[in-house]
Chain A
Amino acid sequence: MNLGLMFDAMVVLPSGVGLTLTLTVLSLTAGFLLSVPLAFIRAFGRPGLSLAVLAYTYVIRGTPMLVQLFLLYYGLAQIEAVRSSIFWVILRDPFWCALLTFSLNSAAHTTEILCRGLQSVPKGVTEAATSLGLKRFQIARLVTFPIAFRISLPAYGNEVVGMIKGSSLASTVALLEITGMARQMVSTTFAPYEIFIVAGAIYLSLTSIAVKAIQLLERWLSTDGHPVRRRKARLRPALPDHEITTTPLP
Protein backbone atom coordinates (compact mmCIF):
# COMPACT_ATOMS: atom_id res chain seq x y z
CA MET A 1 0.00 0.00 0.00
CA ASN A 2 1.37 3.37 -1.04
CA LEU A 3 -0.41 6.09 0.92
CA GLY A 4 1.04 8.89 -1.19
CA LEU A 5 -0.51 7.38 -4.30
CA MET A 6 -3.84 7.00 -2.53
CA PHE A 7 -3.68 10.67 -1.64
CA ASP A 8 -2.90 11.52 -5.28
CA ALA A 9 -5.91 9.47 -6.33
CA MET A 10 -8.06 11.28 -3.78
CA VAL A 11 -7.06 14.56 -5.40
CA VAL A 12 -7.42 13.46 -9.02
CA LEU A 13 -10.45 11.16 -9.03
CA PRO A 14 -13.07 13.61 -7.70
CA SER A 15 -12.79 15.47 -11.02
CA GLY A 16 -14.57 12.48 -12.53
CA VAL A 17 -17.48 12.75 -10.10
CA GLY A 18 -19.01 15.50 -12.20
CA LEU A 19 -19.33 13.33 -15.29
CA THR A 20 -20.59 10.35 -13.27
CA LEU A 21 -23.27 12.51 -11.66
CA THR A 22 -24.18 14.18 -14.96
CA LEU A 23 -24.64 10.82 -16.66
CA THR A 24 -26.60 9.41 -13.70
CA VAL A 25 -28.90 12.37 -13.11
CA LEU A 26 -29.65 13.00 -16.79
CA SER A 27 -30.35 9.36 -17.56
CA LEU A 28 -32.48 8.91 -14.44
CA THR A 29 -34.50 12.01 -15.37
CA ALA A 30 -34.93 10.97 -19.00
CA GLY A 31 -35.71 7.41 -17.95
CA PHE A 32 -38.30 8.55 -15.43
CA LEU A 33 -40.06 10.88 -17.87
CA LEU A 34 -40.15 8.12 -20.47
CA SER A 35 -41.26 5.46 -18.02
CA VAL A 36 -44.35 7.20 -16.61
CA PRO A 37 -46.45 6.94 -19.79
CA LEU A 38 -44.95 3.51 -20.53
CA ALA A 39 -45.88 2.25 -17.06
CA PHE A 40 -49.48 3.45 -17.50
CA ILE A 41 -49.67 1.69 -20.87
CA ARG A 42 -48.06 -1.43 -19.42
CA ALA A 43 -50.44 -1.50 -16.45
CA PHE A 44 -53.73 -0.32 -17.92
CA GLY A 45 -53.27 -0.14 -21.71
CA ARG A 46 -54.81 -2.35 -24.35
CA PRO A 47 -53.29 -5.85 -24.42
CA GLY A 48 -51.42 -5.20 -27.67
CA LEU A 49 -49.79 -2.01 -26.46
CA SER A 50 -49.05 -3.49 -23.06
CA LEU A 51 -47.30 -6.40 -24.74
CA ALA A 52 -45.24 -4.05 -26.88
CA VAL A 53 -44.02 -2.24 -23.76
CA LEU A 54 -43.34 -5.59 -22.11
CA ALA A 55 -41.24 -6.61 -25.12
CA TYR A 56 -39.19 -3.42 -24.77
CA THR A 57 -38.58 -3.84 -21.05
CA TYR A 58 -37.94 -7.56 -21.41
CA VAL A 59 -35.27 -7.16 -24.07
CA ILE A 60 -33.55 -4.26 -22.28
CA ARG A 61 -33.66 -5.97 -18.91
CA GLY A 62 -32.58 -9.31 -20.35
CA THR A 63 -29.37 -8.14 -22.02
CA PRO A 64 -26.25 -6.66 -20.42
CA MET A 65 -25.99 -2.89 -20.55
CA LEU A 66 -22.48 -3.30 -21.98
CA VAL A 67 -23.90 -5.02 -25.08
CA GLN A 68 -26.47 -2.26 -25.53
CA LEU A 69 -23.79 0.41 -25.18
CA PHE A 70 -21.53 -1.23 -27.77
CA LEU A 71 -24.52 -1.86 -30.03
CA LEU A 72 -25.32 1.85 -30.07
CA TYR A 73 -21.75 3.15 -30.11
CA TYR A 74 -20.09 0.74 -32.54
CA GLY A 75 -23.04 -1.11 -34.09
CA LEU A 76 -25.09 1.75 -35.47
CA ALA A 77 -22.08 3.06 -37.41
CA GLN A 78 -22.39 0.02 -39.66
CA ILE A 79 -25.63 1.34 -41.15
CA GLU A 80 -24.91 3.83 -43.91
CA ALA A 81 -28.25 5.60 -43.43
CA VAL A 82 -27.38 6.39 -39.81
CA ARG A 83 -23.96 7.74 -40.73
CA SER A 84 -25.40 10.12 -43.29
CA SER A 85 -28.34 11.25 -41.17
CA ILE A 86 -28.36 14.23 -38.82
CA PHE A 87 -28.40 11.88 -35.80
CA TRP A 88 -24.82 10.93 -36.56
CA VAL A 89 -23.60 14.08 -34.81
CA ILE A 90 -25.07 12.67 -31.61
CA LEU A 91 -24.42 8.98 -32.19
CA ARG A 92 -20.71 9.28 -32.91
CA ASP A 93 -20.14 11.02 -29.59
CA PRO A 94 -19.48 8.55 -26.75
CA PHE A 95 -21.16 10.82 -24.20
CA TRP A 96 -24.49 10.90 -26.01
CA CYS A 97 -24.32 7.18 -26.78
CA ALA A 98 -23.72 6.38 -23.13
CA LEU A 99 -26.46 8.76 -22.05
CA LEU A 100 -28.91 7.24 -24.56
CA THR A 101 -28.08 3.69 -23.43
CA PHE A 102 -28.40 4.53 -19.75
CA SER A 103 -31.67 6.40 -20.31
CA LEU A 104 -33.24 3.54 -22.27
CA ASN A 105 -32.06 1.13 -19.58
CA SER A 106 -33.33 3.23 -16.73
CA ALA A 107 -36.65 3.72 -18.53
CA ALA A 108 -37.11 -0.04 -18.86
CA HIS A 109 -36.35 -0.72 -15.20
CA THR A 110 -38.44 2.21 -13.94
CA THR A 111 -41.36 1.19 -16.15
CA GLU A 112 -41.51 -2.23 -14.52
CA ILE A 113 -41.13 -0.72 -11.01
CA LEU A 114 -43.88 1.86 -11.57
CA CYS A 115 -46.09 -0.70 -13.30
CA ARG A 116 -45.96 -2.92 -10.22
CA GLY A 117 -46.79 0.15 -8.11
CA LEU A 118 -49.70 1.10 -10.35
CA GLN A 119 -51.08 -2.41 -10.25
CA SER A 120 -51.00 -2.50 -6.45
CA VAL A 121 -53.15 0.64 -6.11
CA PRO A 122 -56.42 -0.70 -4.66
CA LYS A 123 -59.35 -0.68 -7.04
CA GLY A 124 -61.65 0.94 -4.49
CA VAL A 125 -59.57 4.10 -4.54
CA THR A 126 -59.93 4.66 -8.27
CA GLU A 127 -63.61 3.72 -8.08
CA ALA A 128 -64.08 6.32 -5.35
CA ALA A 129 -62.30 8.90 -7.51
CA THR A 130 -64.55 8.02 -10.44
CA SER A 131 -67.64 8.39 -8.28
CA LEU A 132 -66.41 11.84 -7.22
CA GLY A 133 -66.60 12.80 -10.87
CA LEU A 134 -62.89 13.00 -11.68
CA LYS A 135 -61.88 12.53 -15.29
CA ARG A 136 -59.57 9.69 -16.27
CA PHE A 137 -56.52 11.92 -16.61
CA GLN A 138 -57.29 13.59 -13.29
CA ILE A 139 -57.53 10.21 -11.58
CA ALA A 140 -54.20 9.19 -13.04
CA ARG A 141 -52.54 12.46 -12.06
CA LEU A 142 -54.08 13.06 -8.62
CA VAL A 143 -54.90 9.59 -7.35
CA THR A 144 -53.24 6.62 -9.02
CA PHE A 145 -49.79 8.04 -9.72
CA PRO A 146 -49.08 9.59 -6.28
CA ILE A 147 -50.04 6.37 -4.54
CA ALA A 148 -48.12 4.21 -7.00
CA PHE A 149 -45.06 6.45 -6.67
CA ARG A 150 -45.00 6.04 -2.91
CA ILE A 151 -45.36 2.29 -3.22
CA SER A 152 -42.56 2.18 -5.82
CA LEU A 153 -40.12 4.46 -4.03
CA PRO A 154 -38.07 1.77 -2.20
CA ALA A 155 -37.63 -0.19 -5.43
CA TYR A 156 -36.83 3.02 -7.29
CA GLY A 157 -34.06 3.67 -4.78
CA ASN A 158 -32.40 0.45 -5.93
CA GLU A 159 -32.66 1.70 -9.51
CA VAL A 160 -30.95 4.98 -8.56
CA VAL A 161 -28.09 3.07 -6.93
CA GLY A 162 -27.94 0.74 -9.93
CA MET A 163 -27.64 3.70 -12.27
CA ILE A 164 -24.78 5.26 -10.27
CA LYS A 165 -22.97 1.94 -10.47
CA GLY A 166 -23.95 1.38 -14.10
CA SER A 167 -22.49 4.72 -15.14
CA SER A 168 -19.07 3.12 -14.62
CA LEU A 169 -19.62 1.35 -17.95
CA ALA A 170 -19.09 4.69 -19.67
CA SER A 171 -15.37 4.13 -19.07
CA THR A 172 -15.46 1.39 -21.74
CA VAL A 173 -16.20 3.96 -24.45
CA ALA A 174 -13.32 6.18 -23.30
CA LEU A 175 -15.30 8.57 -21.13
CA LEU A 176 -13.35 9.88 -18.17
CA GLU A 177 -15.77 9.50 -15.30
CA ILE A 178 -14.59 8.05 -11.97
CA THR A 179 -13.82 4.56 -13.31
CA GLY A 180 -12.34 5.95 -16.51
CA MET A 181 -10.02 8.25 -14.61
CA ALA A 182 -9.06 5.43 -12.25
CA ARG A 183 -8.20 3.16 -15.18
CA GLN A 184 -6.15 5.93 -16.74
CA MET A 185 -4.29 6.51 -13.48
CA VAL A 186 -3.65 2.79 -13.07
CA SER A 187 -2.21 2.52 -16.57
CA THR A 188 0.36 5.22 -15.76
CA THR A 189 1.18 4.32 -12.14
CA PHE A 190 0.66 0.50 -12.19
CA ALA A 191 -0.83 0.70 -8.69
CA PRO A 192 -4.28 -0.89 -9.09
CA TYR A 193 -5.01 -1.49 -5.39
CA GLU A 194 -4.60 2.04 -4.14
CA ILE A 195 -6.43 3.76 -6.97
CA PHE A 196 -9.33 1.37 -7.43
CA ILE A 197 -9.95 1.33 -3.67
CA VAL A 198 -10.16 5.12 -3.63
CA ALA A 199 -12.52 5.00 -6.63
CA GLY A 200 -14.63 2.40 -4.83
CA ALA A 201 -14.81 4.61 -1.75
CA ILE A 202 -16.03 7.53 -3.87
CA TYR A 203 -18.72 5.34 -5.43
CA LEU A 204 -19.68 4.02 -2.00
CA SER A 205 -20.18 7.53 -0.66
CA LEU A 206 -22.26 8.48 -3.72
CA THR A 207 -24.50 5.42 -3.38
CA SER A 208 -24.82 5.91 0.39
CA ILE A 209 -25.94 9.51 -0.14
CA ALA A 210 -28.46 8.33 -2.74
CA VAL A 211 -29.84 5.68 -0.38
CA LYS A 212 -30.16 8.23 2.44
CA ALA A 213 -31.83 10.74 0.11
CA ILE A 214 -34.39 8.18 -1.02
CA GLN A 215 -35.10 7.23 2.59
CA LEU A 216 -35.64 10.89 3.47
CA LEU A 217 -37.94 11.30 0.48
CA GLU A 218 -39.87 8.22 1.58
CA ARG A 219 -40.31 9.63 5.06
CA TRP A 220 -41.21 13.06 3.70
CA LEU A 221 -43.85 11.67 1.35
CA SER A 222 -45.36 9.20 3.79
CA THR A 223 -48.20 10.56 5.88
CA ASP A 224 -47.86 7.94 8.62
CA GLY A 225 -47.44 9.50 12.03
CA HIS A 226 -47.56 13.06 10.74
CA PRO A 227 -50.86 14.37 12.12
CA VAL A 228 -50.25 17.86 10.77
CA ARG A 229 -49.63 16.69 7.27
CA ARG A 230 -52.53 14.31 7.44
CA ARG A 231 -54.88 17.05 8.53
CA LYS A 232 -53.65 19.22 5.69
CA ALA A 233 -54.18 16.31 3.35
CA ARG A 234 -57.72 15.93 4.57
CA LEU A 235 -58.54 19.45 3.43
CA ARG A 236 -57.50 18.61 -0.08
CA PRO A 237 -59.38 15.96 -2.02
CA ALA A 238 -56.53 13.56 -1.25
CA LEU A 239 -56.58 10.05 0.04
CA PRO A 240 -55.79 8.49 3.40
CA ASP A 241 -52.84 6.66 1.98
CA HIS A 242 -51.58 5.46 5.34
CA GLU A 243 -53.99 2.59 4.91
CA ILE A 244 -52.64 1.75 1.51
CA THR A 245 -48.92 1.85 2.14
CA THR A 246 -49.14 -0.72 4.92
CA THR A 247 -48.93 -4.24 3.58
CA PRO A 248 -51.99 -6.35 4.30
CA LEU A 249 -51.54 -9.23 6.67
CA PRO A 250 -51.52 -12.63 4.99
Chain B
Amino acid sequence: MGGFTTQFVAALTVTISLALVSGCLGTAFGLFVAISKGTAQPRLNSVVTAYTTVVRGVPELLIILLIYFGGTTLASKIAGRYVEVNAFTAGVIALSVVFSGYATEVFRGAIAAVPAGQTEAAKSLGLNAWQRWMFVIGPQMLRLALPAYGNLWISLFKDTALVSIVGLTDIMRVAYVGAGSLRAPLTFYLAAAALYLSLTTVTLLSIRLAERRYPALGR
Protein backbone atom coordinates (compact mmCIF):
# COMPACT_ATOMS: atom_id res chain seq x y z
CA MET B 1 0.00 0.00 0.00
CA GLY B 2 3.06 2.26 0.31
CA GLY B 3 2.34 5.76 1.57
CA PHE B 4 -1.32 5.47 0.73
CA THR B 5 -2.40 4.67 4.30
CA THR B 6 -2.18 8.32 5.36
CA GLN B 7 -3.99 9.30 2.17
CA PHE B 8 -6.75 6.82 2.96
CA VAL B 9 -7.10 8.31 6.45
CA ALA B 10 -7.42 11.81 4.98
CA ALA B 11 -9.88 10.51 2.37
CA LEU B 12 -11.94 8.84 5.08
CA THR B 13 -12.39 12.18 6.85
CA VAL B 14 -13.36 13.79 3.53
CA THR B 15 -15.98 11.10 2.88
CA ILE B 16 -17.36 11.30 6.41
CA SER B 17 -17.53 15.09 6.47
CA LEU B 18 -19.16 15.15 3.01
CA ALA B 19 -21.81 12.69 4.19
CA LEU B 20 -22.40 14.45 7.52
CA VAL B 21 -22.68 17.95 6.03
CA SER B 22 -24.98 16.94 3.17
CA GLY B 23 -27.00 14.60 5.42
CA CYS B 24 -27.63 17.36 7.98
CA LEU B 25 -28.47 19.95 5.31
CA GLY B 26 -30.71 17.46 3.53
CA THR B 27 -32.48 16.54 6.77
CA ALA B 28 -33.12 20.18 7.68
CA PHE B 29 -34.43 20.98 4.22
CA GLY B 30 -36.48 17.78 3.98
CA LEU B 31 -38.03 18.37 7.40
CA PHE B 32 -38.88 21.95 6.49
CA VAL B 33 -40.46 20.93 3.18
CA ALA B 34 -42.38 18.01 4.72
CA ILE B 35 -43.85 20.21 7.45
CA SER B 36 -44.77 22.99 5.04
CA LYS B 37 -46.32 20.45 2.68
CA GLY B 38 -48.66 19.34 5.44
CA THR B 39 -49.93 22.84 6.18
CA ALA B 40 -49.66 24.91 3.02
CA GLN B 41 -51.97 25.49 0.09
CA PRO B 42 -52.40 22.97 -2.76
CA ARG B 43 -50.24 24.85 -5.25
CA LEU B 44 -47.17 24.60 -3.03
CA ASN B 45 -47.96 20.93 -2.53
CA SER B 46 -47.73 20.20 -6.24
CA VAL B 47 -44.38 22.03 -6.41
CA VAL B 48 -43.07 19.86 -3.58
CA THR B 49 -44.38 16.69 -5.22
CA ALA B 50 -42.69 17.68 -8.49
CA TYR B 51 -39.42 18.29 -6.63
CA THR B 52 -39.38 14.92 -4.87
CA THR B 53 -40.45 13.09 -8.05
CA VAL B 54 -37.69 14.67 -10.13
CA VAL B 55 -34.99 14.16 -7.51
CA ARG B 56 -35.94 10.55 -6.92
CA GLY B 57 -36.37 9.75 -10.61
CA VAL B 58 -33.02 11.01 -11.90
CA PRO B 59 -29.69 9.21 -11.29
CA GLU B 60 -27.57 10.64 -8.47
CA LEU B 61 -24.57 10.60 -10.79
CA LEU B 62 -26.37 12.88 -13.25
CA ILE B 63 -27.30 15.34 -10.49
CA ILE B 64 -23.67 15.47 -9.33
CA LEU B 65 -22.42 16.00 -12.90
CA LEU B 66 -25.07 18.67 -13.53
CA ILE B 67 -24.21 20.63 -10.40
CA TYR B 68 -20.44 20.31 -10.81
CA PHE B 69 -20.13 21.11 -14.52
CA GLY B 70 -23.21 23.30 -14.65
CA GLY B 71 -22.05 25.17 -11.56
CA THR B 72 -18.64 25.74 -13.14
CA THR B 73 -20.24 27.17 -16.28
CA LEU B 74 -22.56 29.37 -14.25
CA ALA B 75 -19.81 30.65 -11.97
CA SER B 76 -17.56 31.35 -14.95
CA LYS B 77 -20.32 33.30 -16.66
CA ILE B 78 -20.95 35.39 -13.56
CA ALA B 79 -17.28 36.03 -12.81
CA GLY B 80 -16.42 36.64 -16.46
CA ARG B 81 -13.44 34.26 -16.32
CA TYR B 82 -12.94 30.54 -15.83
CA VAL B 83 -13.88 29.58 -12.27
CA GLU B 84 -13.96 25.96 -11.19
CA VAL B 85 -16.47 24.97 -8.54
CA ASN B 86 -14.97 23.09 -5.64
CA ALA B 87 -15.79 19.37 -5.95
CA PHE B 88 -16.63 19.21 -2.24
CA THR B 89 -19.14 22.06 -2.51
CA ALA B 90 -20.72 20.57 -5.61
CA GLY B 91 -20.91 17.20 -3.85
CA VAL B 92 -22.52 18.73 -0.76
CA ILE B 93 -25.13 20.55 -2.85
CA ALA B 94 -25.91 17.51 -5.03
CA LEU B 95 -26.10 15.02 -2.17
CA SER B 96 -28.16 17.43 -0.03
CA VAL B 97 -30.64 17.79 -2.87
CA VAL B 98 -30.88 14.01 -3.26
CA PHE B 99 -31.10 13.42 0.49
CA SER B 100 -33.76 16.10 0.99
CA GLY B 101 -35.87 14.63 -1.82
CA TYR B 102 -35.99 11.24 -0.13
CA ALA B 103 -36.17 12.65 3.40
CA THR B 104 -39.21 14.76 2.47
CA GLU B 105 -41.09 11.64 1.46
CA VAL B 106 -40.01 9.76 4.60
CA PHE B 107 -41.04 12.60 6.92
CA ARG B 108 -44.26 13.24 5.00
CA GLY B 109 -45.22 9.59 5.40
CA ALA B 110 -44.37 9.68 9.09
CA ILE B 111 -46.40 12.86 9.67
CA ALA B 112 -49.36 11.27 7.90
CA ALA B 113 -48.98 8.19 10.13
CA VAL B 114 -49.42 10.20 13.35
CA PRO B 115 -53.14 9.86 14.19
CA ALA B 116 -55.21 13.00 13.56
CA GLY B 117 -56.63 12.71 17.08
CA GLN B 118 -53.25 13.72 18.48
CA THR B 119 -53.34 17.09 16.72
CA GLU B 120 -56.97 17.60 17.71
CA ALA B 121 -56.23 16.75 21.33
CA ALA B 122 -53.26 19.14 21.34
CA LYS B 123 -55.44 21.89 19.84
CA SER B 124 -58.15 21.32 22.43
CA LEU B 125 -55.51 21.64 25.15
CA GLY B 126 -54.75 25.10 23.79
CA LEU B 127 -51.27 24.42 22.40
CA ASN B 128 -50.24 26.72 19.57
CA ALA B 129 -48.87 25.46 16.25
CA TRP B 130 -45.24 25.63 17.38
CA GLN B 131 -45.96 23.71 20.59
CA ARG B 132 -47.98 21.10 18.71
CA TRP B 133 -45.03 20.38 16.42
CA MET B 134 -42.42 20.45 19.19
CA PHE B 135 -44.17 18.39 21.83
CA VAL B 136 -46.86 16.29 20.15
CA ILE B 137 -46.37 15.56 16.46
CA GLY B 138 -42.60 15.97 16.22
CA PRO B 139 -41.54 13.33 18.74
CA GLN B 140 -44.02 10.76 17.43
CA MET B 141 -43.24 11.49 13.80
CA LEU B 142 -39.46 11.22 14.25
CA ARG B 143 -39.77 7.84 15.95
CA LEU B 144 -41.96 6.54 13.12
CA ALA B 145 -39.54 7.88 10.51
CA LEU B 146 -36.41 6.48 12.14
CA PRO B 147 -36.01 3.11 10.29
CA ALA B 148 -36.54 4.58 6.81
CA TYR B 149 -34.48 7.64 7.72
CA GLY B 150 -31.60 5.38 8.76
CA ASN B 151 -31.66 3.66 5.37
CA LEU B 152 -31.28 7.07 3.75
CA TRP B 153 -28.04 7.61 5.66
CA ILE B 154 -26.68 4.26 4.46
CA SER B 155 -27.51 5.18 0.86
CA LEU B 156 -25.91 8.57 1.41
CA PHE B 157 -22.60 7.03 2.50
CA LYS B 158 -22.63 4.87 -0.62
CA ASP B 159 -23.54 7.81 -2.86
CA THR B 160 -20.54 9.83 -1.65
CA ALA B 161 -18.39 7.49 -3.78
CA LEU B 162 -19.97 9.06 -6.89
CA VAL B 163 -18.47 12.47 -6.07
CA SER B 164 -15.02 10.98 -6.77
CA ILE B 165 -15.99 11.03 -10.46
CA VAL B 166 -15.82 14.85 -10.44
CA GLY B 167 -12.44 14.73 -8.71
CA LEU B 168 -13.06 14.91 -4.97
CA THR B 169 -10.23 13.09 -3.16
CA ASP B 170 -12.45 10.77 -1.15
CA ILE B 171 -11.88 7.06 -0.48
CA MET B 172 -12.82 6.06 -4.00
CA ARG B 173 -10.51 8.64 -5.60
CA VAL B 174 -7.52 7.59 -3.47
CA ALA B 175 -8.20 3.96 -4.39
CA TYR B 176 -8.37 4.93 -8.08
CA VAL B 177 -5.10 6.89 -7.95
CA GLY B 178 -3.35 4.21 -5.87
CA ALA B 179 -4.58 1.45 -8.16
CA GLY B 180 -3.17 3.29 -11.14
CA SER B 181 0.19 4.23 -9.67
CA LEU B 182 1.04 0.95 -7.92
CA ARG B 183 -0.68 -1.26 -10.52
CA ALA B 184 -2.59 -3.07 -7.77
CA PRO B 185 -6.26 -2.32 -8.46
CA LEU B 186 -7.55 -5.37 -6.61
CA THR B 187 -5.82 -4.43 -3.35
CA PHE B 188 -6.88 -0.80 -3.47
CA TYR B 189 -10.50 -1.38 -4.42
CA LEU B 190 -10.82 -4.11 -1.80
CA ALA B 191 -9.47 -1.64 0.77
CA ALA B 192 -11.97 0.95 -0.41
CA ALA B 193 -14.78 -1.59 -0.22
CA ALA B 194 -13.75 -2.53 3.33
CA LEU B 195 -13.73 1.14 4.37
CA TYR B 196 -17.17 1.77 2.90
CA LEU B 197 -18.49 -1.42 4.47
CA SER B 198 -17.24 -0.36 7.89
CA LEU B 199 -18.83 3.08 7.44
CA THR B 200 -22.21 1.58 6.54
CA THR B 201 -21.89 -0.94 9.38
CA VAL B 202 -21.27 1.81 11.93
CA THR B 203 -24.26 3.73 10.51
CA LEU B 204 -26.46 0.63 10.66
CA LEU B 205 -25.46 -0.12 14.25
CA SER B 206 -26.13 3.44 15.39
CA ILE B 207 -29.57 3.35 13.75
CA ARG B 208 -30.36 0.07 15.50
CA LEU B 209 -29.29 1.63 18.81
CA ALA B 210 -31.42 4.71 18.15
CA GLU B 211 -34.38 2.52 17.19
CA ARG B 212 -34.07 0.61 20.45
CA ARG B 213 -33.68 3.79 22.45
CA TYR B 214 -36.59 5.56 20.71
CA PRO B 215 -39.13 2.92 19.64
CA ALA B 216 -42.33 4.04 17.91
CA LEU B 217 -44.84 5.09 20.53
CA GLY B 218 -48.04 3.26 21.15
CA ARG B 219 -47.48 0.14 19.09
Q: A63, B158: Cβ atoms under 8 Å?
A: yes
Give the interface size bracket for B toward A.
35 or more
Q: Which of A68-120 contact B (CB under 8 A)?
A: 68, 70-71, 74-79
Q: Is A124 positioned at the interface, with any CB of B under 8 Å from its CB?
A: no
Residues of A within 8 A of B74 (CB): 193
Residues of B within 8 A of A71 (CB): 185-186, 189-190, 193
Q: Is B45 positioned at the interface, with any CB of A under 8 Å from its CB?
A: no
Q: Is the interface of A mostly helix, strand, loop or mixed?
A: helix
Residues of A within 8 A of B60 (CB): 165
Q: A172, B165: Cβ atoms under 8 Å?
A: yes
CA–CA, A140 and B189, complex, Å: 39
Given contacts A67-B189, A186-B69, contact A199 B179 (CB under 8 A): no
Give the interface size bracket for A toward B.
35 or more
Q: Which of B180-219 contact A (CB under 8 A)?
A: 183-187, 189-190, 192-193, 196-197, 200-201, 204, 218-219
Q: Is the interface of B mostly helix, strand, loop or mixed?
A: helix
Given contacts A78-B184, A183-B65, contact A203 B192 (CB under 8 A): no
Q: Mark A161-203, 1 if CB is under 8 A from B, else 0.
A: 1001111110110000001001100100011110011011001
B65, B159, B165, B172 — which one has the most chain A CB atoms within 10 A of its CB?
B65
Residues of B within 8 A of A70 (CB): 172, 175-176, 179, 185, 189
Q: A203, B158: Cβ atoms under 8 Å?
A: no
Q: Mark A16-41, 1 if CB is under 8 A from B, else 0.
A: 00000000000000000000000000
24 residue pairs A–B, Cβ–Cβ below 8 Å: A61-B200, A62-B154, A62-B196, A62-B204, A64-B158, A64-B160, A64-B162, A67-B172, A67-B175, A68-B193, A70-B172, A71-B193, A74-B189, A78-B187, A169-B162, A172-B165, A186-B69, A191-B73, A192-B72, A193-B66, A193-B73, A193-B74, A197-B66, A203-B58
